[in-house]
Amino acid sequence: MKKLLFLILGPVFYSATLADQDDALAKSIERGKLVYSENCITCHMGTGEGVPASFPPLAKSDYLIKTPEKAIYAVKFGLIGKIKVNGIDYDNMMPAPGLDNNEIADVMNYIQNSWGNSSDKKIVTEKMVEAVEEKK
């Protein structure tokens, strides 16, 4: 009887959990879009293409997909020095935008799910952002 109950209720619980995560991700992406338009759009452009030789693209960015912790670090603390994005070197400064951890999570979710990027429904959480610490 327990197995039958699990077989019936298991998929219902699982789908409800996924629906909650999808809803949370969708809401985070929507908030992140606003954060992006207020803080990031000037350099990385509305399409996430960046500015060649100056500001790296966020659209279809291997840097975001391969090293999301480094991307979170850059948004949280800023970035100075050379990075390689999609095979091209960029050596510019990105000042820390002064965002709260929840805003960083939201903008990361927006970026990772826009312009050809896909997070495979993996949500960046405020706790994940909190775990990224400044290098001393």
Amino acid, res. 50: G
At 100, list the tokens.
């709260």
Instruction: Determine, yes or no, domain membership for 46.
Output: yes
- What's the pLDDT score for residue 128? 96
Full-model pTM: 0.81
Quote the domain boundaries for residue 19: 2-131
Instruction: Determine, yes or no, domain membership for 136.
Output: no
Rounded to 5 degrees, what are φ and ψ at 16?
A: -65, -40
Residue 12 has pLDDT above 70, yes or no: no
CA distance 66 to 62: 6
- What's the pLDDT score for residue 135? 79
- Between vectors from CA 118 to CA 116 and to CA 122, what angle results, nearest 5°? 165
CA distance 2 to 8: 10
Q: Picking from 3-7, 40-44, 67-71, 117-121, which range would have the lowest pLDDT averaged per residue? A: 3-7
64-110, pLDDT tens digit by residue?
Answer: 888 999 999 999 999 999 999 999 999 999 999 999 999 999 999 99
Residue 10 is part of a domain; what is its CATH number? 1.10.760.10
The closest of 109, 115, 120, 119 to 129, measured between CA atoms, is 109
Number of domains in the chain: 1
At 121, list the tokens.
């429904």
